[in-house]
Amino acid sequence: MDWIKFLDKIDSIVWGPPLLILLMGTGIFLSFRLGFLQVFRLPTALKLIIKAENEGSGDVNSFGALCTALAATIGTGNIIGVGTAIKAGGPGALFWMMMAAFFGMATKYAEGLLAIKFRAKDANGQITGGPMQYILKGMGEKFRPLAVFFAVSGVLVALLGIGTFPQVNAIVTSINGTFNIPVAITGIILTIIVALIIFGGLQSITNVSTKVIPFMSILYIIICLITVLSSYDKIPQAIKLILSNAFTGTAAAGGFLGATVQMAIRNGIARGIFSNESGLGSAPIAAAAAKTKWPAEQGLISMTGTFIDTIIICTLTGLSIIITGVWKTDLQGAELSQAAFGTVIPVLGPALLTLSLTLFAFTTIIGWNYYGERCCEFLFGVKSIRIYRIIFIAMVALGAFIKLEAIWLIADIVNGLMTLPNLIALVALSGVTAAETKLYMKYLKNK
């Protein structure tokens, strides 16, 4: 039996239309139930990033919790994923990516709110939360198997997938290609830095995230804006192309084979969800640690993560690729962004992209380490954390050399499966989410 083909088929089934419809459907359901607060409360949410009260129990402030979540969320998907979606589904895929993000903001809000509402403390006195806790404490002990299923999936994804191999591989290959530094040297340095950070615990991860995330996001946004604005006269035509192709498909042009509407929808939604992780259940693990007494406050702050990740960063990446016309070439993945930036900033552009890609991938590694750690603690207790960290560091070290497609496919499958218990909980606890939202909005009104 060809295991690669077998796993690839399972992966296609797991990440097929049913799961994508379920993810989008949950976002649409929550958007209506919460009165489209991703529109009407977005200004409030953006203000809270800086001006949150940070009262109540918690391990880090709300901005630190957001940066920790963004560390894991803003990753190679913002560069490679956008290019892959446009290459497979045409410019129209960017529209559907935005749709996934728009409704995903309501999903991310609910995740952040429930993370605070049902968080707990572990044996070391540290905050623990996320889907495993709001399933158990919100839905009841009889749903423990769902919580365990999520936690097991989270550990596997952290150790075998998003948290290690793809990110490490992206870092070592991009640095090798741009600066000709040997893979082994980059891998060793990366492993040492990661080890120093994660053994410092959440405070160490947060300290790095709050410094690196704003810097790398602003740097990348500036590069994209320079690329897009250098051909500002083409922006209206690019927007028209995105909207028309979203509903009519894309004709073949140059090295591009053409795409159907179905391909645009599937690739846009899938890559959008991969990028912002709305509904996957990962971000609420970090949100649970925020210092706040209002669950809805952290819900609003969490919601901005999807806005920053996809509505801003992915949109700018997509526009850069479309406006410069590189999407019609035979280039793939990160090469598309590199070529787009290179047309405007010939020498510095590719180097800055490598720096952005490296920082994006690095922060994803440390963010997902924390997610896996909290899942491991839920399953085996605090004594397992040190063992988990050692295994995680070993996986980072191996990531520079391993290119086993089977491992990545298994991780991708488990990543998809971890969404199921989370989505069940989000729908089942939507009444709690709505009630907490009303309570907080009343507080803001009388403040």
**Of 217-226, 245-254, 344-353, which gets the smallest average pLDDT?**
245-254
pLDDT at 207 over 80: yes
pLDDT at 354 over 90: no
**Of 161-175, 192-206, 306-320, 427-441, which gets the smallest average pLDDT?**
161-175
Q: Which domain holds residue 179?
A: 14-446
Say if 6 falls within a structural domain: no
pLDDT at 249 over 80: no
Per-residue pLDDT tens for 260-306?
788 888 888 887 887 888 899 999 999 999 888 899 999 999 999 99
Query: What integer pLDDT is reported at residue 49 of this predicted model?
Result: 86
Percent of the chain beyond pLDDT 70? 96
- Measuring CA to CA, how many Å separate 446 from each of 39, 293, 422, 441, 442? 21, 17, 33, 9, 6
pLDDT at 30 over 70: yes
Q: Contacts by 151-154 with C-beta closer than 8 Å and gap 24+?
A: 151/375, 151/376, 151/378, 151/379, 152/375, 152/379, 153/414, 153/415, 153/417, 153/418, 154/281, 154/282, 154/285, 154/371, 154/372, 154/374, 154/375, 154/418
Say if 4 falls within a structural domain: no
Query: What integer pLDDT is reported at residue 355 of this predicted model?
Result: 87
CB neighbourhood size of 420 (10 A):
18
Asked if 84 and 315 count as a contact pair (C-beta separation under 8 A), the reply is no
- Residues 216 and 220: their CA atoms lie apart, in Å, by 6
CA atoms within 13 A on the CB side of 256: 24
Q: Contacts by 438-441 with C-beta closer than 8 Å and gap 24+?
A: 439/296, 440/294, 440/295, 440/296, 440/297, 441/296
In this prediction, residue 255 has a pLDDT band, given cuts at 50, 70 and 90, of low
Residue at token pair 């509505």: 311
pLDDT at 68 over 90: no
Amino acid identity of 145? Answer: P
Count, residues in the chain: 447
Query: What integer pLDDT is reported at residue 20 of this predicted model?
Result: 84
In this prediction, residue 351 has a pLDDT band, given cuts at 50, 70 and 90, of confident
pLDDT at 23 over 80: yes
Per-residue pLDDT tens for 126-160?
899 999 999 999 999 999 999 999 999 999 989 98
Output 103 or 14, whichever has higher pLDDT.
103
- Residues 439 and 15: their CA atoms lie apart, in Å, by 36
Query: What integer pLDDT is reported at residue 14 of this predicted model?
Result: 83
- Residues 243 and 93: their CA atoms lie apart, in Å, by 9
Query: What integer pLDDT is reported at residue 145 of this predicted model?
Result: 96
- Residues 416 and 240: their CA atoms lie apart, in Å, by 33
Percent of the chain beyond pLDDT 90? 50
Say if 8 falls within a structural domain: no
pLDDT at 174 over 90: no
- Measuring CA to CA, how many Å separate 429 from each of 111, 117, 128, 282, 436? 10, 11, 19, 17, 11
3-state secondary structure of 253: strand
- Residues 111 and 20: their CA atoms lie apart, in Å, by 18
- Measuring CA to CA, how many Å separate 137 from each of 115, 203, 284, 420, 429? 11, 26, 15, 18, 11
Say if 334 falls within a structural domain: yes
Report the CATH number that the domain containing residue 273 is assigned in CATH: 1.20.1740.10
Asked if 102 and 42 count as a contact pair (C-beta separation under 8 A), the reply is no
Work out the average pLDDT over 101-112.
96
259 φ, ψ (degrees, to nearest 5): -140, 145
pLDDT at 185 over 90: yes
Say if 331 falls within a structural domain: yes
Say if 2 falls within a structural domain: no
In this prediction, residue 212 has a pLDDT band, given cuts at 50, 70 and 90, of confident
Dig out the tokens for 256 from the structure: 């591009």
Query: What integer pLDDT is reported at residue 390 of this predicted model?
Result: 96
Dig out the tokens for 260 from the structure: 């159907």
Say if 1 falls within a structural domain: no
- Residues 204 and 190: their CA atoms lie apart, in Å, by 16
Dig out the tokens for 71 from the structure: 């560390």
Per-residue pLDDT tens for 397-430?
988 887 666 666 777 788 788 899 999 999 999 9
Query: What integer pLDDT is reported at residue 253 of this predicted model?
Result: 63
**Which residues sit opposite 388 in a β-bridge?**
none
Query: What integer pLDDT is reported at residue 202 of this predicted model?
Result: 80
253 φ, ψ (degrees, to nearest 5): -155, 125
pLDDT at 256 over 70: no
Query: What integer pLDDT is reported at residue 67 of this predicted model?
Result: 84
- Residues 204 and 366: their CA atoms lie apart, in Å, by 10
Work out the average pLDDT over 33-44.
96
Domains in the chain, number: 1
Asked if 404 and 8 count as a contact pair (C-beta separation under 8 A), the reply is no
- Residues 90 and 434: their CA atoms lie apart, in Å, by 37
